[in-house]
Amino acid sequence: NAGVTQTPKFQVLKTGQSMTLQCAQDMNHEYMSWYRQDPGMGLRLIHYSVGAGITDQGEVPNGYNVSRSTTEDFPLRLLSAAPSQTSVYFCASLGHTGELFFGEGSRLTVL
């Protein structure tokens, strides 16, 4: 099992550009989520999904869009990037014992 795979690992954008962070898991987990990590702010939930076709907002959803067409994939879209979205983004899926399995993270810089 590859676990949770995120791409890209690093990305630099200009203000106003759009992009998609990809996330895939091969553990057949129903629940997937996206967090952003900023210094001193911990991990903040952006969006989550409890299964294919179902998504919901977390604590900081503004400026982000998600969809869940398959169990395996949960992409995060930045519609019009802003400097405030400079962060490290983690995708995670929930195992059957309650453990969150995180991807390696994607470091995004918006200029």
Partner 1 sequence: GENVEQHPSTLSVQEGDSAVIKCTYSDSASNYFPWYKQELGKRPQLIIDIRSNVGEKKDQRIAVTLNKTAKHFSLHITETQPEDSAVYFCAASNSGYALNFGKGTSLLVTP
Could you list the residues that contact partner 1 (CB under 8 A)? 31, 33, 35, 40-45, 48, 50, 58-59, 90, 94, 98-100, 102-105
Q: How many CB atoms lie within 10 A of CB 65?
A: 14
Strand 87-94 and strand 106-110: the pairing is antiparallel
Q: How far is the CB of 71 from partner 1 (least distance, A)?
A: 15
Instruction: Select 36 or 78, whichever has its Cβ closest to partner 1.
Output: 36
Query: Which residues, in sequence order, are CB contacts of 39 under 8 Å at separation 6+?
Result: none
Q: How far is the CB of 55 from partner 1 (least distance, A)?
A: 12
In angstroms, rounded to a whole number, what is the distance separating the alpha carbons of residues 80 and 57? 18
Q: How far is the CB of 102 from partner 1 (least distance, A)?
A: 4
Residue 78 three-state SS:
strand
Instruction: Select 33 or 87, whichever has its Cβ closest to partner 1.
Output: 33
Instruction: Select 11 or 17, whichever has its Cβ closest to partner 1.
Output: 11
Place of tokens 């091969």: 26
Best CA proximity match to 90, nearest among 3, 1, 12: 3
Instruction: Select 17 or 88, whichever has its Cβ closest to partner 1.
Output: 88
Q: How far is the CB of 27 from partner 1 (least distance, A)?
A: 14
